[in-house]
Homo-oligomer: A and B are copies of this chain.
Amino acid sequence: MAGKRPENYQTRQGQAILEYMESLGDGHVTVSQIARHFADTEEAVGQTTVYRHLEKLAAGGMIRKYILHDDKSACYQYISGGKRCREHFHLKCESCGDLIHTDCDFLDEIARHLNRRHHFKINMLKTVFYGTCKKCLASAPAMARR
């Protein structure tokens, strides 16, 4: 429902933030890093505005919000795949920050299971599995932490 109404004005700040997130590819940044970026540039964007735009972009599925190893502050990442990402799962490595897109039948079953056995309708766009990726497991033996 709800047609494609503008809902939001197009502003210099909003555009600057989206473009910056896009320019990072699949890299991730924290709010303070974003703020620093705009401080270094001529584009002035207040941090309150950054927070508010990130929230909207995350709600709209344009970016994802993560909590990494240092759970002090959240970090954000642009979603390039857009639509396709609604249909598969994501594994986020807490060590290197890599996001792994996974198309796997077994993982699809999870959604069915949650639905049938737990009556829970999963939101695949937002759900992310946190953990340690293959690369990091191989290179960091001390990853055996709890």
Does A51 reach chain B (CB closer than 8 Å)? no
Query: CA A143 – CA B146 in complex, angstroms?
Result: 35
Task: Enumerate A121-146 residues with CB–CB distance to B below 8 Å.
Answer: 121-123, 125-134, 137, 143, 146
Query: CA A123 – CA B100 in complex, angstroms?
Result: 15
For the complex formed by this chain, how many copies does it contain in all?
A: 2
Given contacts A66-B69, A123-B94, A129-B127, contact A117 B146 (CB under 8 A): no
How many residues on the A side are at the interface (Cβ–Cβ under 8 A)? 39
Partner-B contacts on A (CB < 8 A)? 59, 61, 65-67, 69-71, 91, 93-94, 100, 102, 104, 106-107, 110, 113-114, 117-123, 125-134, 137, 143, 146
